[in-house]
Amino acid sequence: VAILDTGIDSDHPDLAANLGDGRAFVKCRGKNCNHPWDDDNDHGTHCAGIAGALDNDRGVQGVAPEVTLHAVKVLDKRGSGSFSDIAAGLEYVADQDWDVASMSLGASSGSRTIRDACSYANNNGVLLVAAAGNDGPCSDCVGYPAAYSEVVAVSSTDSDGARSSFSSTGPGVEIAAPGGEIYSTVPGGYDTFSGTSMACPHVSGAGGVLMADGSSNTDARSALTSTAEDLGLSSNEQGNGLLDVAAAVGLGSSD
């Protein structure tokens, strides 16, 4: 699972053993940059923990605790990035034959550069997952790249199953996942964040499990959406429903 974000903390005890190769399109800046792809913010590390923190009896455990996490640093220490760097990151993931590109990032408008990179990665077998955005409530405001047809757009729910108030909605939403008050890894420790950024890596981790078991990107996408739990929300809010990892991997519903 490639985390296209601000990087991943290479020293974190919940993550270090699961880290694979990384690549920086924006270099890490600061005193804790052991690698160019290290996290000089905290956002990428938080997302990485949700997707694949170790099962080590401490801290947190990710959706896929045995997954290999690849840091693809496309956002700087302020959490900002360019379309060209994000597109280059996507193309790099595809060229490495990595399974999943997790994108907890977005913009209100699209880019031909990003669209072409999404098409390239999707055609080369990468499962593309992205945060729907935090512009809710709205009628149709799913951000990009989540709004592209090649990408699984993930909205956010709270612990009570309601749509998170901040979550973007619209016909582009494909699946929902927990995004309200999520506790996960950050450089040097742990913290609680909220956002569709937190919902996205739940789905990415589950996709990584499916593809490790031999599913193609299209098969994994179908399994994730067809087994999602109907929360009784509109399709613009939940898409096909709430992510059910156990059901998606054939272990029965988590209920």
Active site residue 43: yes
State the catalytic residue, choosing from 164, 168, 194, 197.
197
DSSP string over the chain: -EEEES---TT-TTTGGGB---EESS---STT-SSTTS-SSSHHHHHHHHHH---SSSS---SSTTPPBEEEE-S-TTS---HHHHHHHHHHHHHTT-SEEEE---BSS--HHHHHHHHHHHHTTPEEEEE--S--S-SS---BTTTSTTEEEEEEE-TTSSBPTT---STTEEEEEE-SSEEEEETTEEEEE-SHHHHHHHHHHHHHHHHHTT--HHHHHHHHHHTPBP-S--HHHHTT-B--HHHHTTS----
For residue 19, the one-letter residue type is L
State the catalytic residue, choosing from 14, 39, 42, 43.
43
- Say how many residues make up the chain: 255
Instruction: Tell me how far apart the alpha carbons of residues 107 and 132 are, in angstroms, rounded to a whole number.
Output: 10
State the catalytic residue, choosing from 5, 40, 42, 76.
5
Active site residue 46: no
Active site residue 197: yes
Instruction: Tell me how far apart the alpha carbons of residues 228 and 173 are, in angstroms, rounded to a whole number.
Output: 13
Catalytic annotation, residues: 5, 43, 197
